[in-house]
Amino acid sequence: MAASLIKLFITAALANAPVASGGVVTTTVDPEVTRYNAVLTVGMIGGTETTILAEDFLDDNGDPVQANSLPAVPTDGYINVYVNGVLQQEGLSTLTTASLVLDTISAVAGTPVILEVADFSNTTSAITTPQTISAPAIDVTT
């Protein structure tokens, strides 16, 4: 007589899926926005570009900016350049701490230029209340 193998048979079914609830993430955005203005002079205007040195700008309080004291383009931010009140395309200007260079061949002395620098590097997020996740319920049938 041949021996037979008896195997254990078990069935499992998910009775209740895990449920996530609660949890709070707090994000704090503390942007630093600075603005500078200058008026173009003949000496700033070149053949293919216009260079406005840092010391040719005034800050938001009307105070002169010191040489090499413009902010660098922020990694977590952006700059806006307005010429005669019109927002310029991003690729038409280059900002360094020493100057703002405008790619232009038709600049006119007396034109106002506004530089706006927005820096969002002081943005933080934190889990202030952890999320609760329930364990799944499994029914086992033998």
Residue 93 domain flag = yes
**pLDDT, tens digit, for every residue of 81-128?**
999 999 999 999 999 999 999 998 889 999 999 999 999 999 999 988
Number of domains making up the chain: 1
28-54 as b/e: b if 16+ CB within 10 A? eeeeeeeebbbebeeebbeeebbebbb
Beta strands 49-53 and 93-95 are unpaired
Residue 19 domain flag = no
**3-class DSSP assignment, residue 29:** coil
- Sorting pLDDT into bands at 50, 70 and 90, what band is 14? confident
* Residue 79 belongs to domain spanning: 31-121
> Residue 70's closest CA among 99, 93, 92?
99
Tokens 């209740």: give the residue. 16
**pLDDT, tens digit, for every residue of 61-71?**
999 999 999 99
Residue 59 domain flag = yes
Tokens 């840092």: give the residue. 54
Residue 48 domain flag = yes
pLDDT greater than 80 at residue 36? yes
User: Mean pLDDT, to the nearest integer, of 137-141?
Assistant: 80
**121 within 8 A of 33, measured Cβ to Cβ:** no
Residue 12 domain flag = no
Compute the residue count for the chain.
142
**128 within 8 A of 22, measured Cβ to Cβ:** no
Residue 24 domain flag = no
Residue 11 domain flag = no
Residue 42 domain flag = yes
**122 within 8 A of 30, measured Cβ to Cβ:** yes
Q: What is the pTM of this model?
A: 0.72
- In the chain, count of helices (H) and strands (E)? 0, 14
CA dihedral angle for residue 39, residue 41, residue 47, residue 48, rounded to 10 degrees: -10
